[in-house]
Structure 1
Amino acid sequence: MIDANSKFYAILTAAGEAKQVKADAGLLTWKITHMAVGDANGLDPLPDRMQKVLINERRRAPLNSLAPDPANPAILVAEQVIPADEGGFWVRELGLFDADGDLVAIANCAPSFKPKLSQGSGRTQTLRMNFVVSSASNIVLTIDPAVVLATRKYVDDSVSNAINRLDTKQSVLVATTGPMVLAGVQVIDGLAAPAGSRVLVKNQDQPKDNGLYLVSADSWVRTVDADTSDKVTPALLVSVERGTVNADTQWQLVTDAPIVLGTTALSFRNILAGLMGNFAGSRTVAQSRALTVDERGMRIELAAGVVATLPLTNSVPEGTAYLLSAGSTSTTSKLTTANGDQFAMNNLAVPTPYTFSPGGDVIVVREGSIWRGHCGSETLKTSKLFSASMTTPGYQFLPSGLIEQWGEITTTGAVNEPITVTFPLAFPVACFHFIATASSSPTGYVGGEARGKERAVVTSSATVPQVLYWRALGK
């Protein structure tokens, strides 16, 4: 007779034990498919491992689900729903059958009468049977929404799991601006975040610890929509509500698959930066190092003596850009590329390491395997508008089209001997002005005149050899 001392439990039958051994050894893929209920002929049954059938089976139907207990993976939970229009019997015993039709697990339960609607009372009844297995690795777990009915818990869990696996997550109150201890209530980005607040943690020293968290007076835990690897996937997206720096920003997880939560470094990027013409941020690089993907779109100032290495072009998206500059007095800030990549400005290859002028800046953009410099004062050095040869003889182009050329020539000492000066470059249009002067006080005079776009003639009344300096202007 059932009383306060009665025990209710489930066990594998002898047939179930044998199949569990084969499944553990990889010799069998075990499919548990049906649950049967019985009234045990009014008796109070005790499960017997040698049973092959229920004492008195009243109903058998496919399982709604067979899944591990979330709190203990060694326990399998079999579930079946009996609809309101079925019944008229007591439920005292439960049994699980596999695809071969064998009774593989059996349980007793507290007696429960399942009425039919025709009796004037009806209910939908959920039956769950928990049994221990050594391993579920070769047991086919079943969640079949087409089978009979789904419990409210199953529906709630299914909807919750589906939402939690979406890339777009519920917004967070604030986002971090630097590394922090993930414990206790604290001020984040200028705002006191109360317990229970959602926070985007994105700046940890160990990037594997980045992610979505709940503020707690104790140690923080990851949010339910981002606490397992299947919920944290590439392109995860989250919006930030408040904060001095990060208010109204939107952050995307740019880490590629596969992602193992707690092991894989998680990197987030503000995808709204740049949409309104603003940069993603700014920082100073104080020590020589490689620039990172996370720094793209930023203004980065290089301290004196720093050599900044651009990322490999094939490691960043096409169009990735950095605004790079040197300190106002630095003459030793340099830029270089990684192995195999090129650096160019004004469609001309530029040797690396490239040294910045004091206060110089340039925007570099990835185009194929080349980092191209655009805009900024540094591009003037290689621009044809300012092309120059700072030697003797030499030349300088100016944006107006004016070209200045200079050089020196030595006379022979023959009085008024015409000496031809050949310009380093032929003037495209004309030479407007030519002048020559002596390097020391001459005897008599020095004269000169242009003779076309390519040359000029100088004379000197000096009776000894003399160095003459000349200058020509043209277009």
Structure 2
Amino acid sequence: MADYYTLLTNAGIAYETACKAAGVPIKLAQISVGDGNGAVYNPDANAKALKREVWRGPLNALFQDEKNANWLMAEVTIPSDVGGWYVREAGLWTDTGILYAVVKYPESYKPVLATSGSGKEFYIRSIFETSNASIVTLLIDDTVVKATRAWVMDYLAKGTYSKAEIEAMIAKASALPVGSVIAFPVDKIPPGFFELDGSVKSAAAYPDLSSFLGSAFNKGDEGAGNFRLPESRGEFLRGWDHGRGVDPGRVIGSGQAQSVQKHDHAMWSGGSYGSTNPAGGGAAAAWVNGAVSDMRTGITGSDETRPRNLAVIWCIKAWSAPINQGSIDIAALALLVSQATEVKQGTAKVGTQPQVNAGVNDEVIVTPKKLRLGFAASLTANGYLMFPSWLGGLTIQWGSVTSSAAALSFPIAFATNCTYLGATVNVDANSGGGGTEYMTMGTVISNTQFKMRTGTVNGVPVRWLAVGY
């Protein structure tokens, strides 16, 4: 036996036998995976469950092998948002909850982003043999099943729609806004339109049209999440009066029964009208206006009053479909995606802060935020100017203190080192210092503190300047 395989369980075989006897299909609905309770093992046909199930979901696909009619392949994709466990076993389940087949699966870890730092979708294909593959069917929940990449590629390879067909559909699509109503003189409804036939549609499938129509034409039996289209078949469309007074009292979207404008008919009563009898004799008699109880005209015409017309299909724009607005010059676009330089138009990435600080990359763009990062200033009596690292990180500080033996603090700490500290005495004959000369001595203690002495005399005003980076 192969190292990894799919084994029909005894319960699965019994279920298959019963289905054959009853002439009903075998219905497979779900697949589950487990970690084997921490170890790889050889499946047992008597199994009715996995050793330790960690996830269960609907099957994506079930189909026959092209070369072996009795081989079936079941596929599932485990989503990226579940995991954090090993897969060592899998099981195929019927719609009645029977473990139909058990799979010995190569030990594989299924990560999940929340705990593993990475996540991925996990694809499993199980191949098993049955005596009559044609009676095995798949129950699919369309709301959760996801197509695998292999299935999509295979589906596209079959040419469901050719490139020419797709382009033709796009060319037919209209740029009219959703809710527009137009007439078509042939029985062909273009992509993006519905016939106004009073049918019920899903609001989830056609959200734009649902938002536009709302419940204006609902009858109350549409069901939750649905809306109804207006009915236009056999109807003339008439412009809403909207306050003009020609057709007053109407609500937009409302129907109107047929009617004939008020009028009267002339009817013969007895002899002739005027001086001559049309029948050739007798006195003229007056003609009758309005209804006369004992006189009727002959019936003519149709079952309705109508003008001359052309039968059309009234359609409503249901969703927005793109249209071909013209040709795109790919060669011209290619020039715009090349690297921009001082003399060539193109594209360039926004530089990272390390790239800006390094100042060596000439192919990226510097934004004001990155340009400003690292610059700071305090323009006060005791202040500083601090330049960004890409300008060397130069920091200049200044201030006024009174000389003493105590440690004093810089307005802001130097990032790396204070390379210069100088000072001048801030006294003269008018400020109490007389003509005395002082020798100033500045000492840097650390990147945050310094001392300022004036010989052996303390309490002398001093102006200082410090430079560092």
Q: What is the TM-score normalised by the length of structure 1?
A: 0.32
Q: What is the TM-score normalised by the length of structure 2?
A: 0.33
Larger radius of gyration: 2
Q: Which has the higher contact order (CA 8 A, sep 6+)?
A: 2
